[in-house]
Amino acid sequence: MNVLKAPFVQGFIRMADDGWQQGWHERNGGNLSYRIREEEIQEIRESLHPGEWREIGTEVPGLSGEYFLVTGSGKFFRNASLDPEDALTIVEIDETGTQYRIVWGLVNGGRPTSELPTHLMNHEVKKAASHGRHRVIYHAHPTNIVALTFVLPLDDVTFTRELFEMETECPIVFPAGIGVVPWMIPGGREIAVETSKLMQEHDVAVWAHHGLFCSGEDFDLTFGLMHTVEKAAEILVKVLSMGGKRQTIPGDGLRDVSRAFGVSVPEKYVLEKSKEKAGDSPAF
């Protein structure tokens, strides 16, 4: 099968274009990766042409022999649907988990996303934590969530609790809450390590003054997670601009949602709020 006709490639391209349409990928901002299933690789194997092995810059033994479809470094999301063979690439991980090689794409030259080590380290974590179900890692620059990193305390509990109160869907979509990474230089090992620590517990992490990092089982669920977090952030930005909250979802209400939808919301995200009265000042 031609690579571009493969359903997983079409799904990847659609997600990249959806993110561009949302305004989350200015210039060459953001990156996306997908851990390809064995049967999907077999369908396109005749169209793959392995290149030279290169160092990943980290070790991911849990991903040895795996293949990933990823965006290219310096490539624009807006071009993923227009010229996917230039903007995207499929890479193979060697048996030691320390090297990769390009087997398709980037026909005009280039390298996989500069944040490949971060993606791979987190793929390794989420593969283990989800028993292999998680296959998508998505990084974007949603405006409102980035704006909140300048005014909210940079801690998991505050960020999660404030967003949970903005939409009833939030504790259903990401019940484990949001991890927060303080500002760090993107693309390096340090931010990869800190993010992978958080992703052992969370499916979504905020990178302060930078963007959002999400993991999911497929393209729809991962994009939907990003979309839900950013929608809640947009509501909170508007509420704060109108002078703050007069009433909100109480802690007991979040507990009720948890029970009604069969999700497990950690008590730390609702405990303090359950003691507040409507009209009280925000925790921050």
- As a whole number of angstroms, the distance between CA 284 and CA 275 comes to 15
- Distance of alpha carbon 8 from alpha carbon 106, whole angstroms: 18
- Dihedral sign, Cα of residue 110, residue 34, residue 80, residue 185: negative
Closest among 26, 82, 80, 94 to 219, alpha carbons compared: 80
Q: Which of 117, 133, 143, 141 is nearest to 33 (CA)?
A: 117
Q: Which helix (H) or strand (E) holds 9?
A: helix 7-22
Question: Does the annotation mark 190 as catalytic?
Answer: no
Strands 179-181 and 88-93: unpaired
Tell me the residue type at 189.
R
Catalytic residue among 39, 59, 92, 115: 115
Written as six digits, the tokens of 254 are 């979040």
Q: Is residue 77 packed enough to be buried (19+ CB in 10 Å), middle (13-18) or exposed (0-12)?
A: buried
162 close to 236: Cβ distance less than 8 angstroms: yes
Residues 6+ apart with CB under 8 A from 158: 152, 283, 284
| Residue pointed to by tokens 């609790």 | 161
How many other β-carbons are positioned within 10 Å of the β-carbon of residue 283?
A: 13
- Nearest-10 Cα torsion for 106, 204, 187, 121: -80
| CA–CA gap between residue 35 and residue 14 (Å, rounded) | 16
Active site residues: 115
